[in-house]
Structure 1
Amino acid sequence: MAKSVNQAFDEFNLNVVNLLKSTTDTARSSRGWLIDQLLGFPESVDNFPNDYPEKHIKYGSFSRNTKIRPLDDIDLMYCLSADNAYYSVDAYDLSKYYIHTPNASNNLKLLSDEYNVLNSIRVVNKLVSALKNVPQYSNSEAKRNQEAAVLNLTSYAWSYDIVPCFYTVGGFYLIPDGSGNWKATNPGVDINNISETNTNYGGKVYQLVRTLKFWNANFTSPKISSYLFEVLVINFVKKSGSQNDYNDLNIRDFFYYLYQTIYYDVQDPKSIQGNINNLTPEQRQRISNKAKDCYDIAVSAVDYELNKKDQQKAIEQWAKIFGPNFPKYE
């Protein structure tokens, strides 16, 4: 129950959108314990490759502070030491990389093919088997899912996606591509992108992203992928030049931005993937129509709030956008 729009959004974010502090604290503690186990694998697991601890990286929306309820997965990149291996790029597909191990450690050679090319599926499977040998995970499920070793814990509601990787002299990472080869990524760019945007535009960007991600997750069809959606919100903030102190006004303006912009390509901030908007023209049309409908409702909500001084009507309008869990007027 709320007496004003601002109070309604505060309660909505606290009680519906944002992760509980207790959940976040427990997840960080659990993640820290898991990282300790990973650090021990080169010594405790037979023929396990050496790691590069300085380059392990926590990534994904949980690490970027943009995760919404429920907490279903936590992402880690577990960096391995190249040990004199080197990489090359496919001559015909510049997104495909190979890691060559003729001069590398024996543990990497054991995961390579007869041509001394490191097989990323074998690397992921090696990580999966190592996770299964941790006594505390004996009742959990570990399996490979494309580029990640997925650890489904019995003790928590979330799983871990652990991606083995190598850090390159070019300053980017190589991770499995799901087909045995490797692909480039650089999640540090994404972490810095939203952190700097939040700092430079008033400190409300994290919350803006989370509130809008709740809308995308629950009220759009088709849904926009979480990563693409986050990039869209960040691009909107940068394009706006400044952010209002009240996120309901920023939410209204984002809907107008999305209504117009979803038709166009969206470039990967890491300058690796190129266009990341893989939605079909028909999907873009449907999302644009939904965003325009929400923009019109948001305009009405702001009019009730600021011009007609009717907080109840304004809250009722916002509930049309964010659903029955949005607080009611008291």
Structure 2
Amino acid sequence: MALTVTAAFNDFQRNIVNLDTSQTNQARASRDWLLGRMNTFPNNDVYFPIIYPDIHTGFGSFARRTKIRPLDDIDLMFGLDGDDCVYIESDGKILITAREGTVRLKYYKHDGTNFINSRKIINSFISSLNQIPQYDKADVKRNQEAATLKLKSYDWNFDIVPAFITNPDSFGKTYYLIPDGNGHWKKTDPRIDKQKVTDLNVKLSGNMLNVIRVIKYWQKRPTMPSMSSYLLETMLLNYFNGRSECYQWVDLEIVSVLGYLASAIFSPVYDHKGIQGNINNLSDDEKLKISIRCYLDQGKATEARNYESQNNHRASINKWQDVFGVNFPSYG
């Protein structure tokens, strides 16, 4: 319950949208403990790949601080040493090849080849995770690109992805190499995504993240097809990249953000890493439905803003509830 629009949005963000601070701190502590245990895996298994702790990194929305409730997954890249291997790009995938000096990765090759099998490495992660006594009741399995650890004691899963880092290319760039879901590897670089979010949020006085989270909550409602979280975030970063300011009060941004999304959804959206190309793979029908919902809710948001300017907070809050659903605080 709230008597003003500002109070309603503050309550909405604090109790419905943004992650709970104590839970976030607990999640980070459990993540750090897990990484500490995983760093000991080579000591207990002479076949486990040589690790490279300096390149361990988080990725995904939790790492970028754009995660909204519920906190259901935490994504980690677990760094491995290259172990004298080399890589080539072939037919849209990365092939990592063991050489004569390869010590441990030679045990993870595709049968009859010298190519390193990402599935076998993930399976070695699963085997070692199952040996941690504190995780004796956990569910550990391979999920395409990751080893997924589901704990009984926490609400969140860990998706743990084995990762190598390349030597600098001719432009001085390095990339992470992670499983492609088909036994080989692909390029990525979560550092670019995280830095893009951080730089823009700092430029916009720390106000951008709250807008991104609220819009991510909005698009989860079953009123239209859903975009992937990464696609939506990329579009929002494109929007804010052209802005010189972002209001402290989220409701002041929503009208223009929805107007931008309504038209931008029809255009290609390129990932900021420059690796994946166009990530807007929605069908024409999905794009149209999303655009219509953006325009409809933009109209409601405009009405809500007009009511607030007339000091009619009851009507404004009711209209915002039409936009965000019943979890948006009621007037009173």
Q: How would you bin the TM-score normalised by the shorter chain? A: over 0.9
Q: Is the 8 A contact 2:83 2:103 kept in 1?
A: no
SS in 2 for 1:110: helix
> Aligned pair 1:103/2:103, yes or no?
no
Q: Is the 8 A contact 2:83 2:104 kept in 1?
A: no
Separation in structure 2 between the aligned mates of residue 60 and residue 103 of structure 1, nearest angstrom: 36
Distance 1:18 1:104, change over 3 A: farther
> Aligned pair 1:58/2:55, yes or no?
no
Shift of the alpha carbon at 1:219?
Answer: 4.0
Shift of the alpha carbon at 1:242?
Answer: 2.4
Q: Which runs of 4+ in 1 moved over 4 A?
A: none
SS in 1 for 2:221: helix
Superposed counterparts of 1:176-191, under 5 Å: 176-191=179-194
Superposed counterparts of 1:1-330, under 5 Å: 1-90=1-90, 93=91, 95-113=92-110, 114-170=112-168, 171-306=174-309, 308-330=310-332
SS in 2 for 1:106: coil
Separation in structure 2 between the aligned mates of residue 295 and residue 240 of structure 1, nearest angstrom: 19
Shift of the alpha carbon at 1:244?
Answer: 2.4
Q: Is the 8 A contact 2:212 2:233 kept in 1?
A: yes
| Identity rate, percent | 40
Task: Report the aligned-residue RMSD.
Answer: 1.1
Query: Which amino acid in 1 is paired with 2:269?
Result: V
Q: Give the structure 1 partner of residue 171 of structure 2.
A: none
Instruction: Extract unaligned runs of 5+ from structure 1.
Output: none
Moved more, 179-188 or 242-251: 242-251
TM normalised by structure 2 equals: 0.96
Once the two structures are superposed, residues 136-183 of structure 1 have per-residue CA deviations (whole angstroms, 9 ceiling, x without a partner) of 111111110001000011111111000001000131100000111100
Q: Is the 8 A contact 1:73 1:161 kept in 2?
A: yes
Q: Is the 8 A contact 1:82 1:104 kept in 2?
A: no
Q: Is the 8 A contact 2:121 2:162 kept in 1?
A: yes
Moved more, 102-111 or 281-290: 102-111
Once the two structures are superposed, residues 253-295 of structure 1 have per-residue CA deviations (whole angstroms, 9 ceiling, x without a partner) of 1110011110011001000000011101110000000000000
Aligned length: 326
Query: Which amino acid in 2 is paired with 1:214?
Result: Y
SS in 1 for 2:121: helix
Separation in structure 1 between the aligned mates of residue 257 and residue 303 of structure 2, nearest angstrom: 15
Query: Which amino acid in 2 is paired with 1:36?
Result: G
Separation in structure 1 between the aligned mates of residue 108 and residue 251 of structure 2, nearest angstrom: 52
Separation in structure 2 between the aligned mates of residue 215 and residue 44 of structure 1, nearest angstrom: 47
